[in-house]
Structure 1
Amino acid sequence: MQTKDYIACKIKTGDSLKSLAERIGLNNYKQLQNFHNDICPKTELLQNFEITKGNTLYVPDLKEVISLNNEIKKGETNQPPLKPFKLKLDNLIASYDVTIDKTVTTGVIEKTNKIAYTLNLNYLINKDDLKILRVTKSEFYINKIKPQSKIQRLALFCSKAYYPMDLLLSKHGNIIGINNMPEIKKRWLDNKSNLEANFNGDYAEKYINNVNKKLLESNQLEKAIISDTVLNTLLLPYQRLNKTSKTVFNINYYKYHINLKVSQEVESNDTKNNTLTILQNGKVEDTRSYKDLLNPNDVNNNPFYIKLPKIEGTLNSSYQVNLEQELSTKIKAKYHIDYTTSKSKTTILTINHINN
């Protein structure tokens, strides 16, 4: 270990390098990563900007903070100003390997699943001031294994009717609907009888009926796609336009449309490789409790309604963007939501561009 003056800090839920740097008065949280790596044992090195609850982070004391801030200030005066940049959906053709790590914690019980698949995006045309983006999706793996159980295989075969899916996007890149619903409905009806012949039993019958209702009798599929976490995370740089190095905005997460306030900034600009890194940090700003999410009508209709503590949560994400290709090449996003003191959900998305 080095002889620098430091404090060993236990990482808590919701902590990020940025929030801890702000707490101790350090002006650049990348310096906090560098400081920690100078101090810590090799087994505790931080390879990126992610930190894990329960681990130890070595942070500088006040004297070192002042010294580091002086170094940062000196370095900033020698840096050329960042040029504005913008990503365009037009002509987007890209494939991504997607991995979703979901961990649900209820009390002391923790359940984790890893889902992986390939997503292909193909920009088609502008239509009435809207953009159409075709999405295709490979078969998925659960914990690195192809769907094995009857329930998993049923879900896989039902989902095949959804793709190819033509997303309707606003001119700002927000998902507002599905353009080829008639085609999706036809694919479903063509395969429905085959599904019913191969999957029987009460659960299979109920599942198939629910999918049938979702596609033919309601707009549930469109609602699910509009709030899809993977697609919205992938499209976020296009939605934000990224014209400035720093900005603050709101996003909705998951099917409950939980509101998060997000700050975004350009962390680094690699002019040699024509790439830059965008970092986003956010916190839940939502007055609702978990009970309100499950039963939204109770607030106005239940005379015995009791207000419970509001949900809390954080978002930490990074995007590596290739400016020449005008697309994201590496995305890592971590959504953590505390629904109650004993129930939480953590979703980690890893999305990597496939070089064809």
Structure 2
Amino acid sequence: MIIKPIALAGLLAAAQLANVAYAQAPKGAPAAAVQPASPATPAALQLKAPEDWIIYDNTTTYTPVLDDLSRHLDAARKAFDAKDNKKAATEMRAAADELKKQAARADKESKELVAADQALLAADQKFTQDAVARINASATKVSSAASAIESGKITKKSDLDQALDTAARADLDRRWVVTDVTTWYPVSEEPQRHFTNAVADYGRKEYTAAAAEIRKATGYLRLEAGRASGQAKQALDKSVLDLDRLAPAVAKGSLKETKEMDKAFAEANQALAQAYRAKAGESWVRQAYERTGYELKAAAHGLESAAGWVGGEAKTIAASTVAETRALGDKLASGSQWTRNEVVKGLQALASGISAVGQQIKPGK
């Protein structure tokens, strides 16, 4: 996994993308089909639901259990509920150790990136130094919470939530910056599933369940916002705020119709598509072709889902782009033959498709 460079935002502008991409090929390289040469990732990652959920703030904040860090945090909370403070403290310390490992990995990968591309030195160092500092700060807070549990100073779940305050949990989510494709891709379609469930639950007047589904989807958007930058991050952050405002209204059953949900879900999926498209562009420039493929597949799903909530012309606009992007993503992810022209055009077409659907979600903007 390579840390995302903020400076790539400029490199990946549509007008410049073709030149950057072709610059990766050796002089004299044929324009015919190219076989990927980047380190292999599993060619058939399967979509799946998370193992469980960590619930904070009296059921208003959900975080999916997906990796070693979240597994340790989940185990700590369950042990705490069972009044096994020793085990809870042990698991919290294991979570702190995992955060330290991730911070070290982020630092190492940043140095490798800098060695590979001096042009991105300043932006990459600033971003990574900030990420490493925040992850290490979170590790310190988790360690402190472990000691407080073990000494009996923390006795209620609300106290534990306070120890891992909102800022600390936001920093925990920054681990998504260094997460591997095998962790995030299998759950990339989960937000849409939860959105669909929310509408179904609301229609059955199961308002509490509908709100919980929205909050679960929001948990994924928070994670993706942690590794996004630029406009993609802004769009994800806005969707998180919108969904956080929507969930309480849904829980009360105060929506007169589901159009408000439809619009919020369309915007959230479009934001995810935009973020995955940006990551695909970064991975392509870095010659991480398998990751590019999975990011394209995830972006295609986000675009298709966004158009689905709008319906009508939006679905028509998105259909061909979604199909072509998925086909290209499959080629890259599986190591099949592809050409550089094909990938460059595919990235540009996807960006245009996301923009066009955005016009349907918010006409005139």
TM-score under structure 2 length normalisation? 0.23
* Structure with max Cα Rg: 1
Higher helix share: 2
Higher strand share: 1
Say which structure, 1 or 2, has more relative contact order (CA 8 Å, 6+ apart).
Answer: 2
